[in-house]
């Protein structure tokens, strides 16, 4: 499945026992991944969130004192709306993740993934979705860990038409993907995501970009593998064992 194009997109999320979402800011797990985390939980997957920063420099809610502390509480409340079993919030400086040692960030991913016995990592698409460098850095740390362990990494993406419309209407820097780069197009129920979003009071109230994006997405979410599973992740056997050549790409940089 690596590198093949024009393959039909799957319409169901991949199976996973324990999903770890690796995020940069409190609200990424809800504004971005909320419907997906709720969907995984609905199928019986255990879900966890690792968040690297407290989001204390957000321009939204900038007048609020102790914004970082408030956002930590918002994250905990939102996570419970989404049925997330475990949250680990770190205190790296918001807006400066790219200046942090990748090894240190990767070590956190490793430890949390081990703690929750993750068999799937869920991240923001490379490019950071909104173009925020912190988002890209969080994904980089997840990938850095997963390359060594062969853990599959599923990226939440936005489609190119959605990104283009947002960028035109709202002067944003969304990075979208065309269909040939997407592996999944899944219908989701956004009920729990909406409830989780409202828990992020400091960020959700005056956020036209968020609401317009959700409107444009409708009930569809799109995803791409950054690291596809190296063997079938479900028990059903289809094509027999993979040839050895398919399992030898862990030397790739
Ligand atoms: Zn963010």
Asked whether the beta carbons of 125 and 156 are under 8 A apart, the reply is yes
Asked whether the beta carbons of 135 and 173 are under 8 A apart, the reply is no
In this model, does residue 239 exceed pLDDT 90? no
Cα 15 to ligand 1 centre (Å): 26
Which has more confidence, 242 or 127? 127
Cα 28 to ligand 1 centre (Å): 5
Cα 32 to ligand 1 centre (Å): 8
CA atoms within 13 A on the CB side of 192: 21
In this model, does residue 207 exceed pLDDT 90? yes
Cα 120 to ligand 1 centre (Å): 21
Cα 56 to ligand 1 centre (Å): 11
pLDDT of residue 6: 53
**DSSP structure class, residue 122:** E
Cα 27 to ligand 1 centre (Å): 7
Closest CA relative to residue 202, chosen from 104, 67, 112, 80? 67
Instruction: Please name each of the domains of the chain with its CATH number.
Output: 19-227 (3.40.50.10320)
pTM: 0.88
**Per-residue pLDDT tens over the stretch 141-157:** 999 999 989 999 999 99
Mean pLDDT, rounded, for 160-181: 97
Cα 152 to ligand 1 centre (Å): 22
Cα 119 to ligand 1 centre (Å): 24
Cα 25 to ligand 1 centre (Å): 5
Mean predicted lDDT score pLDDT of the chain: 90
Residue 6's alpha-carbon distances to 47, 80, 127, 182, in angstroms, are 31, 38, 22, 9
Cα 24 to ligand 1 centre (Å): 6
**Per-residue pLDDT tens over the stretch 14-38:** 999 999 999 999 999 999 999 999 9
Cα 118 to ligand 1 centre (Å): 22
In this model, does residue 175 exceed pLDDT 80? yes
Cα 244 to ligand 1 centre (Å): 39
Asked whether the beta carbons of 124 and 32 are under 8 A apart, the reply is yes
In this model, does residue 93 exceed pLDDT 70? yes
Cα gap 162→212, rounded to integer Å: 10
Cα 239 to ligand 1 centre (Å): 40
Cα gap 228→21, rounded to integer Å: 16
């Amino acid at each position: 499945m690596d590198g093949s194009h024009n393959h039909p997109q799957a319409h169901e999320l991949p199976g996973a026992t324990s999903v770890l979402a690796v995020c940069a800011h409190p609200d990424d797990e809800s504004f971005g991944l909320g419907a997906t985390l709720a969907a995984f939980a609905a199928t019986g997957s255990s879900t966890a969130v690792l968040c690297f920063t407290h989001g204390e420099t957000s321009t939204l809610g900038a007048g609020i004192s102790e914004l970082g502390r408030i956002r930590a509480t918002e994250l905990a409340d939102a996570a419970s709306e989404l049925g997330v079993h475990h949250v680990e919030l770190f205190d790296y400086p918001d807006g400066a993740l790219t200046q942090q040692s990748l090894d240190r960030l990767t070590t956190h991913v490793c430890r949390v993934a081990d703690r929750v016995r993750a068999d799937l990592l869920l991240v923001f698409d490379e490019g950071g979705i909104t173009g925020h460098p912190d988002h890209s850095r969080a994904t980089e740390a997840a990938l850095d860990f997963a390359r060594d362990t062969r853990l599959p990494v599923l990226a939440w993406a936005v489609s190119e038409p959605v990104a283009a419309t947002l960028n035109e209407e709202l002067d944003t820097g969304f990075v979208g993907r065309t269909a040939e780069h997407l592996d999944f197009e899944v219908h989701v129920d956004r009920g729990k995501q909406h409830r989780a979003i409202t828990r992020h009071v400091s960020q959700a109230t005056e956020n036209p970009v968020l609401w317009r994006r959700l409107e444009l997405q409708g009930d569809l979410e799109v995803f791409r593998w950054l690291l596809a599973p190296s063997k079938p992740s479900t028990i059903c056997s289809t094509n027999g064992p993979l040839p050895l050549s398919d399992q030898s790409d862990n030397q790739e940089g």
